[in-house]
Structure 1
Amino acid sequence: MMKKATFSLLLALASATPAAAAPAEAAPAPAEPIYGVWIRGGHQQKLEFFDCDGKLCARGVFPPPPPGQQPMLILRHAARTEANRWKGDLFNPENGKIYIGIITLDSPTQLTLTGCLIAFLCQSESWSKVPGEPAPSQKTPTSRRRN
């Protein structure tokens, strides 16, 4: 009898509870803290980090490109390897070579950009987020970019 009473109580509660509402549309996820404009420590070079098809890319925004040209894509399709860390192709416009690029977000305002020829021949640079320069609000197509 106890089992029947418990079952009846559960059935009554279930029928009294309104049907689960359809899930509300999720609010857009906040932009990654890495998105935005960063400046190289001790230099004037600036990179803008942005989403490119779900990966992390960066283009040179200072010095600005010549009139009529798009900013050069420096970091290409870096995949997240762990929290606050990405790995992708890093283009060096000074010599035209592509290196292994590792980006580590050290804090919301500091990142380390490491370029490696091979796993143990690496060079790292510190970059600081430029205050007041917002992250891009939408994906930027990479097909029109100059590589």
Structure 2
Amino acid sequence: MIDTTRAGRSGWLVLAGLLLGAAPALAAEPNGEWMVADGVAKVRIETCGSELWGVVSWEKVPGGIDQYNPDPAKRTRPTLGMPLLLGMQQAAPNRWDGEIYNAQNGKTYTANIKLASPDQLELQGCVLGFLCGGQTWTRTAAALPAQKPSASARPATAKPPARGTTGQAAAAPADGVAKTFETVKDVCTAVAEATGLPVVAEQPAAPASRPPAGGSRPVPR
């Protein structure tokens, strides 16, 4: 006679083990370093207050500037260290809604992000709420800042100028250039400086910091 009770118990134990093994993947968060789809930049995503923000942490082509910013006074600011993902709030399990700033045209769009896997981030941006497009970012290691050459180092061979990732033409060393964000607070400080919002890493954002219905969030311009 087969002991169905024991067999059933064994089956539940196997199932429980599989579920526990899958838990880390299901619990993954977007926080971390991400390479954009075309490989020209990395974005560091961290939680500031109760929202996710993403700032440019590395550029393949150094020297990019925010030349299409609606504010003429800010069209010479560097794109390195600039916020791109703005105030993303969790709207559902594995979904965060907010805005994305596009320095290639100076416009801000509604957007959402979600994890397709622990190392794949799907981003979708929309114009007028229905004309949408998306791309997939890949999790990557944080970029190291460029090292200063030693006095004995040979001068690098000059390269022709190349178009910046989000700004004007600039020379392009192969390893790009990085901005060091050692802590979450460093990221949140960069966000606060760019937007004027009192964004902090230690405390939850106050409800009033969210723009009213029909209003707009201060764009990092």
Q: Return the TM-score normalized by structure 2.
A: 0.46
Runs of 4+ in 1 over 4 A off after TM superposition: 134-137
Q: Which residue of 2 aligns with 1:100?
A: 110
Question: Counterpart of 2:51?
Answer: 55
Which ranges in structure 2 are unaligned for 5 or more consecutive residues? 1-26, 65-76, 144-180, 196-219
Q: 1:79 to 1:97 in 2, by over 3 A?
A: same
Structure 2 equivalent of residue 145 of structure 1: 194
Larger Rg: 1
Which residue pairs with 2:11 in the alignment?
A: none
Which residue identity is paired with 1:40? V
Higher helix share: 2
Amino acid at match of 1:62: W
Residue from 31, 37, 56 that aligns with 1:35: 31
Unaligned stretches of 5+ residues in structure 1: 1-30
- Give the counterpart of 2:132 among 119, 122, 125: 122
Residue by residue over 1:101-123, the C-alpha shift from the partner in whole angstroms, topping out at 9 and shown as x without a partner, is 11111111001111100222001
Q: Is the 8 A contact 2:31 2:46 kept in 1?
A: yes
Return the alpha-carbon distance in structure 2 between the equivalents of residues 87 and 136 of structure 1: 26
1 or 2, which has the higher strand percentage?
A: 1
Distance in 2 of aligned mates of 1:101 and 1:145:
19
How far 1:136 sits from its partner (Å)?
Answer: 6.1
Superposition CA RMSD, Å: 2.6
Whether 1:133 aligns to 2:161 is no
Q: Deviations over 1:12-37 (max 9, x none)?
A: xxxxxxxxxxxxxxxxxxx9621111
- Per the normalisation by structure 1, the TM-score is 0.67
- Closer, same or farther: CA 37–51 of 1 in aligned 2, 3 Å: same
| Alpha carbons of structure 1 residues 91 and 133: separation in structure 2 relative to 1, 3 Å | same
Corresponding residue of 2:95:
85
Deviation at 1:83, TM superposition (A): 1.1
Where does residue 74 of structure 1 map in the other structure?
84
Q: Deviations over 1:49-71 (max 9, x none)?
A: 111111010011221667x9561
